[in-house]
A and B are shown apart, each in its own frame.
Chain A
């Protein structure tokens, strides 16, 4: 009985800590990208101007990311942010009608996820160009 009770307490506390650490870790990934400006080319492709991303932009930018070769090796970070995006979206669906301030917080988080994806796209395009230039240089 005591062993089972301890396992229940550890399970509940660990799940709560997991959600919290995962959320903060994703925020730390996003924070590094927020300060980076987008090139005019990426702004045109994604429709996102610096600091003006919307929550609905994220799935579209992720589709563009899938089309771009991953020379930047950021697949795991993009996957983590995708997980965070769906987590925040679930929070918006469940809590936003009860707490209006949660809605504005969630909207801001979702928009920042979209901006992170746009910055990742920028890196991938730039890495692909570098790789292509190196390949052309080697073939000469």
Chain B
């Protein structure tokens, strides 16, 4: 599905990712954890193709294609989705209209028929219901005046409707209370599929109680310094990230984690 090799990324001339390697197979959920400033959000942004994140070395292959040659919209059409940590408001643009336009742009590009307004609204209402999201949010401007929780639900709604092959969830848990966290996680879990992979970027282990990952990675100082199963996340929760810093190399950390 996704193969990242020795990825180096600079932002404003400063190296943030320093040789990151990560492979995700179809159907897998990978959690990426790590302290602030480790490069977690950079990973999400560089996958989605944001300007200003310059790849200086390494490669990313997505479904066998060179992802780095694609523009952000081409990546979306290829099946990549980024759930934003801070979803952006677009005043004056109707939320349902926005999502339908996006869905139909993707469908058209893939040679599939467009979904009409009625068909779309039915689908959107159904999915919004599952996320316990007020129908009225569909008729408001995109994320404009939404609460933190409403924004995050809207991201998952988009994901449910766009049905990506690979979803990157960037700190989807931040700003959610415990009930909202449960509902959003249920929404994500419903989308688990043998053909769909996810990368869940988070600061806290608590999200992983709800979305159980197949693999947990620890990102520190621009590299994956440890990988393991869910127990690695538990250890991080209990002991913090400090013990990782004390270890000198990634291999040592791996040993510690196992």
Asked whether A and B interact, the reply is no
